[in-house]
Each structure stands twice: as C-alpha cells, then as structure tokens.
Chain A
C-alpha cells in the first residue's frame, strides 16, 4: 500500500471553452499535454463527441478525463440501445453531473465544459466543477487558462443578469463566425500568459448541419 496520496493526481493542464449561439455551439480546447514543467505532447485532444449534438471538453488529470469520457460514451451507447435515439445534450448534462458526484469522495480530477444543441436546436453550454455541480450558461471556460479567458468572455458576451424578469436568453446573438473568431482571440491571449496552454487549438462547431472541426496553431513556448 502506498501511503501519502499526493501521487494519485496530476494536472496535465490545458484550457477548454464553449460558447452557445442561437442555433450553434462552439466548443474549443488546446491540444497540449503537460506534466510539471514538461510538455509530453503537443497533439492531444481534450474533446470527446459524446452524441451527434453533444460535445464534451475536459481539462485536468488526463487519466481521469479519458476514463470519464469512456464511461460517458459507453452510457450513451446503452441509452441508444434502450431508447432508439441519441442522448440529448441536457440529458447528457445530467448524466455527467451524476457520474462526477458518484465519485464525490475520490473525484475525477476533470474540469468539464459540455456544449451542443438542446432538443429545440438552440445552443447550450453546461459548465461543471470536479464533483458535478453544474449550470446551464451561454458560455464558459475551464482549465488552467480559464481565469484569463472568463473575464474577456464576460465582457464580450455581456450575459444578462439572472435576476431580470422576464428571464432573458444567455445565448449570444453573435454569428457563428464571430463566435469562432472570439474563441481564437481568447486562446491566443491565454497562450501568452498560461504556460500550460498552447501548441494547437481544436475547435468543434455543432449546428443543425452537423459537426465540424478546425485546427489553429498557437504559440509553442
């Protein structure tokens, strides 16, 4: 038995962002895998397409992230077999929360952002902490660069106050291309100051036409 459990976790770094639009959702993450002050690889995806309209991006401890993604993908397949349809994004959101809380006393060291289209085809983003607490928002950033990115998104996407009556939509009125440009800009900024963010940016866009992927180079230092 190994004592002193500080070896059980490590932070492999990285940042994930998602922005919801009226009829699209942009989910992005960098592709750098680090350990300590070393870069293990510059080409490692943090994004997992769980269902056709549901994409998960996670940063944190890669062992836990891969196990979590595998777990959810398996549950989604079971859902397909049982319900003869793919899981909707809000359903997956609840499943992810439950899965994370299930390991409340030995958590998945994973900071998640779930993005996609809800059952009405509107963009949705769900943001999580490591033990499953979640909320539906219009946009979110998680990971080592999140503190650098979130304030910029707050400023650019001007989320309405949740206290307003009648309740106003949190999804951004920006077009898909404008949202993607914003994502590229915030990642370029985070890459400058966060040592764990960089190398390449993977952007996944979900809209009614389907899902597409884009790769942008980031600074490698």
Chain B
C-alpha cells in the first residue's frame, strides 16, 4: 500500500509529513484519504477493537476481512446518523486461514459503499492509477515488481493531481507482520521543451 504524506487544508498544503497508512492488529494495514481528523478517530475505534480482541485471549485475532466488515458498519451507521466520517478507507492484509495464506484488499467509502478487489485507489487514484493497475497487475508479482508498479501510479498522480506532493510511503503486510517504510521521493522529469521559456509562443506584458 502506498500514499503520499501530504495533508491539505483547502488549497493550502498544511501538513507535509503525515502518515496516512497504519498497521491494525497483526494482520492488516489501513490507509485513508479525506478528513484526517476522522481518520484519527477511526484509528481510536480500531484501537478499542483490537484491544478487546486481544483481551479475549482466545488464540484468535481479527483479520483484514473482519476489520473491513467492522469499518463498513461503522461508516454506514455514521452515514445513517447524518454525521459521517469523511474518509475513503483502504484495508489490506494477509492472514493464515483454513485454505492457507489468504490475502485481502478492500475499500470502504464514507457512506458505506464497500468492495474487495486486487487493486484499490482513492480520490484521483480512481481515475489515474486504476487504469494502469488494471492493465499491468498480475497475481504472481513479487514485492519489488509491485512497488515499481505502484511507483508508476504515484508518479502519474504526482504530475497530474494538484494536491499530491513528492514524498511517499510504502507499507507492506505479510504473515510476518506489517512494515511501514520511511518516506522517500520519486524522480520527476520536467525537461520537456515546452516547459522551457513558456512565454515563447505568447509574448505579452506578463
């Protein structure tokens, strides 16, 4: 899962080092876009949930499917009360099940629309990243290949989404646990001839 680390406030780039992906329990990752304070609230709900789950001490732990289901109900019920959590949530994880390692990736919207897919994106990612992922995703990709593919999407979003910044974080979840990598930047290329001397074709008083 990858995200940029910016959080805007309208047209102001208010926060530039925000971690929008967090680990949940032992088996899942949650990523969010939208209202950051509502995401923090959701993390508090998930803390309570995972704490109760741990206190049962029954050898079971909540997997990504269960967390996704819980979040769907939370988002839908808040929508029913006309007091939504204004987020798009991405829930991913791996858990050992009866049929072996079961991977899971799903999304929940602020009004409770939810589904499971092999590739998920929020906001502009739906328009710019999903077409790339649909064309190039394969079941048998290695982690390195997946990172390359995701970086390709992030780069397109960096060029074309005004609210994105050049500082990203990748997170990985496996049966061994969650790893959230430190932030890094992608190399961009602006050396197109049209960007040099942009007023060349339209000289004016500006």
Q: Tell me the A residues contacting B by CB distance below 8 Å.
A: 1-2, 5, 7-10, 12, 33, 35, 38, 40-41, 43-44, 61-63, 66-67, 106
B84 close to A2 (CB less than 8 A):
yes
- Chain-A contact segment, one of B42-50, B107-115, B165-173: B107-115
A8 close to B79 (CB less than 8 A):
yes
Q: Does B39 contact A (CB under 8 A)?
A: no
A1 close to B83 (CB less than 8 A):
yes
Contacts of B84 in A (CB 8 A): 2, 7
Interface string of B71-103 (1 = CB under 8 A from A): 010001001101110100000000000000000
Task: Tell me which of B82, B113, B114, B117 contacts A2 (CB under 8 A).
Answer: B82
Max count, chain A CB within 10 A of own CB: residue among B79, B113, B115, B127: B113
Cα A213 to Cα B76 in complex, Å, equals 30
Q: Does B197 contact A (CB under 8 A)?
A: no
A44 close to B79 (CB less than 8 A):
no
CB distance from A58 to the nearest CB of B (A): 14
A8 close to B111 (CB less than 8 A):
yes
29 interchain pairs, CB-CB under 8 A: A1-B82, A2-B83, A2-B84, A2-B86, A5-B82, A7-B84, A7-B110, A9-B111, A10-B111, A10-B113, A33-B113, A35-B109, A38-B127, A38-B130, A40-B107, A40-B117, A40-B126, A41-B115, A41-B116, A41-B117, A62-B112, A62-B115, A63-B79, A63-B111, A63-B113, A63-B114, A66-B72, A66-B114, A106-B80
Contacts of B126 in A (CB 8 A): 38, 40
Cα A7 to Cα B35 in complex, Å, equals 15
Contacts of B107 in A (CB 8 A): 40
Contacts of B113 in A (CB 8 A): 10, 12, 33, 35, 40, 61-63
Cα A35 to Cα B79 in complex, Å, equals 17
Interface string of B106-139 (1 = CB under 8 A from A): 0101111111110000000011001000000000
CB distance from B97 to the nearest CB of A (A): 20
CB distance from A114 to the nearest CB of B (A): 23
Cα A10 to Cα B114 in complex, Å, equals 12
B112 close to A67 (CB less than 8 A):
yes
Residue of A nearest to B115 (CB): A41
Cα A1 to Cα B79 in complex, Å, equals 11
B115 close to A8 (CB less than 8 A):
no
A63 close to B127 (CB less than 8 A):
no
Residue of B nearest to A63 (CB): B112
A8 close to B82 (CB less than 8 A):
yes
CB distance from A52 to the nearest CB of B (A): 25
* CB-based closest 7 A-B pairs: A63-B112, A41-B115, A41-B117, A62-B113, A38-B126, A63-B76, A63-B113
CB distance from A97 to the nearest CB of B (A): 21
Cα A155 to Cα B130 in complex, Å, equals 40
Cα A2 to Cα B34 in complex, Å, equals 15
